[in-house]
Every structure is written in C-alpha cells, then in structure tokens.
C-alpha cells in the first residue's frame, strides 16, 4: 500500500525542460542567465583587447590607418550592417513567438535569421577575395600571384555611383598601372595612398610617431609607410575574421534552435534556450556595429 508521500511524488508536476540538477524552473533560468552573461563579459574582454590594440596603433599612425580604410568598400560594410540589424529584429521576434508558443512563426523567424547571417558571411567572402586579388592580405605569399605582364582583375562588384566616380577620375588622372606581384606580397597604391601623409605633412598634422615611422633620411619612404598600412590590415583581418567565426558559431546555434522549434520544444513555460541564443546573436551584431565605423569609415573624408 503506497503512502500519501509516494502518491504526492507520483503526481508531482515536472516543468518542461527542467534539468534534474535544478529544483525548479526559476532556479534553472537564473543559473542559465548568469552563465550566459558571464560568458558575454568574457567575450567583451576578449574583443576589448583587440579594440585597444586598434586604438593604440590608430593614435600613432592615423594617416596609414586612413589609407588602409580607404581600401575597404563602405557599401559592403554598410550592407552587412543593415543585414545584421534586421537579423537582430528577426531574432527578437523568434524569442517573442517562442514566449507565445507559436511554433510556425518561430521556424520562420529562425530561418530568416539564418538567411541574414549567411548573407553576412557571403559578403565577407566577396570582401576577402577582393583583398586577395589586390594584394592587400598582410601576410607575404597569401595574395594573388601576378606574373610580369599579367593584369590583376577586380573581384569586387562595382556599383553605378562608383562607376561614375571612376569614369570621372579617369578623365582627370593617368590610367591605372597594373603592378606585377609574382611572390604574392602585400601591396598598396603608392601614388594614391601617399597623398594622405603628404597632405598631413603640409598641414603639420603628422604625429610624432609618424614623423619617425614614415621617413628615411628626411624623405617620405613608401616602404615604411606601407608597413604601417600593413598593421591596419592585420587588425582588420583579425577582428573581422574572429567576428565571422562568432557568426558561424551563431549559425550553428540557430540550426539547433530550428530543429528544436520544428519539434515544438519551446512553449510559454519553456523558452530559455531561445532567449539565451538571442543574447549571443545580439552581442555579435553589436560588435559589428562598432567595427563598421572604425574600420570602414575611418578617414574617408581626407580624399574628398
């Protein structure tokens, strides 16, 4: 004959998604939330070190960083910014519909979020290929090798307004010179990029580090200036590459959420995994919000 305690234990309500190590859903949600925020703080410290390195070198060599930034396509960076902002909206709607227990809309919003994330990575592939084609990867031998007499072909998609700008520039300046690069070395456009330190020199705007770092025997040295531009591209590839890696991890999380949502695992009582995944996705988006102006918009006004 079973006791009253056994009967109570037999019919005790077990919340959906409650793990055995927690007493109730409130304790589980608090533990998961604290764990995620601790992880995000660690990520902030990680990216904070990279942002600090960027600020230190930018303050020392602003003209070299401006020259490097002018090799980035602000259209692609702006497009990716828009894509991630919209993906944050779809991610927030995923959490909303999970809280409402709407399975179909959860699936739709997760698919849209993954589509935007994939679009972001596709744009980064276009940008990275463009840097490879034009000899802007800062590691020797990692750029496209162009033998003497061959011409490098532009890999980036040219927009209508850029076409007009290039056509106007072609009427006033000499034709572009195609440089050979048999060893795949890092290269910059000396005639274009050297305008920035010359302008700063005329206006007495060079920092003390630039006065030492760009010159040899009192003359502006293209090789020394190129090495400072190379620092910008090292930072660019490290920061955007790690950000893209976080986006890939985010897409993996979204794939798992999609499978769980398809199985109707989330409801009004249990949606914590969706909410925590949303926090991670929003963090990755926020990091890009800082990367875009610092990398793509830096010093563009100098050339106008």
In the block, which residue shows the tokens 């940008």?
A: 127
Residue 18's pLDDT band (boundaries 50, 70, 90)? low
The whole model's pTM is what? 0.81
172 assigned to some structural domain = yes
2 assigned to some structural domain = no
In the block, which residue shows the tokens 């019919």?
A: 11
Residues facing 216 on adjacent strands: 219
pLDDT of residue 120: 97
DSSP alpha helices (H): ranges in 134-155?
none
19 assigned to some structural domain = no
- Expressed as residue numbers, the domain containing 192 is 50-303
Check if the beta carbon of residue 251 is closer than 8 Å to that of residue 68. no
What CATH number is given to the structural domain containing 94? 1.20.120.80
Q: What is the mean pLDDT of residues 246-264?
A: 94
User: pLDDT over 90 for what percent of the chain?
Assistant: 47
pLDDT tens by residue, 201-250: 665 678 888 888 888 888 888 888 899 999 999 999 999 999 999 999 99
31 assigned to some structural domain = no
Report the number of distinct structural domains present in the chain. Answer: 1
239 assigned to some structural domain = yes
pLDDT tens by residue, 66-117: 989 989 999 999 999 999 999 999 999 999 999 898 999 999 999 999 999 9
DSSP alpha helices (H): ranges in 134-219?
160-172, 190-193, 195-202, 208-213
pLDDT of residue 175: 42
Instruction: Reply yes or no on whether the pLDDT at 183 is more than 80.
Output: no
28 assigned to some structural domain = no
Instruction: Reply yes or no on whether the pLDDT at 3 is more than 70.
Output: no
11 assigned to some structural domain = no
- DSSP string computed for 217-242: TTEE-HHHHHHHHHHHHHHHHHHHHH
């Amino acid at each position: 004959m079973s006791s009253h305690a056994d009967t109570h234990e037999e019919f005790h309500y077990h919340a959906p998604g409650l793990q055995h190590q927690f007493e109730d859903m409130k304790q589980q949600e608090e533990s998961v939330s604290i764990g995620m925020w601790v992880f995000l703080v660690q990520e902030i410290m990680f990216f904070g070190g990279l942002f600090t390195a960027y600020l230190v070198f930018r303050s020392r060599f602003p003209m070299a960083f401006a020259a490097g930034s002018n090799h980035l396509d602000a259209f692609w960076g702006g497009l990716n910014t828009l894509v991630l902002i919209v993906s944050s909206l779809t991610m927030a709607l995923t959490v909303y519909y999970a809280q409402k227990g709407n399975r179909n809309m959860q699936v739709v919003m997760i698919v849209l979020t993954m589509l935007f994330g994939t679009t972001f990575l596709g744009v980064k592939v276009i940008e990275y290929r463009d840097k490879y084609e034009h000899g802007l990867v800062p590691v020797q031998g990692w750029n496209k090798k162009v033998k003497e007499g061959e011409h490098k072909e532009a890999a980036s998609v040219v927009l209508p307004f850029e076409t007009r700008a290039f056509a106007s520039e072609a009427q006033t300046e000499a034709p572009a010179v195609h440089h050979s690069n048999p060893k795949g070395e890092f290269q910059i456009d000396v005639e274009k990029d050297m305008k920035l330190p010359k302008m700063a020199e005329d206006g007495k705007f060079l920092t003390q580090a630039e006065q030492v770092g760009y010159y040899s025997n009192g003359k502006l040295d293209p090789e020394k200036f190129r090495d400072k531009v190379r620092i910008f591209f090292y930072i660019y590839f490290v920061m955007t590459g790690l950000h893209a890696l976080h986006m890939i991890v985010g897409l993996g999380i979204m794939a798992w959420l999609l499978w769980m949502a398809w199985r109707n695992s989330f409801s009004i009582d249990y949606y914590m995994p969706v909410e925590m995944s949303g926090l991670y996705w929003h963090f990755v988006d926020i990091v890009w919000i800082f990367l875009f102006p610092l990398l793509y918009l830096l010093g563009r006004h100098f050339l106008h």
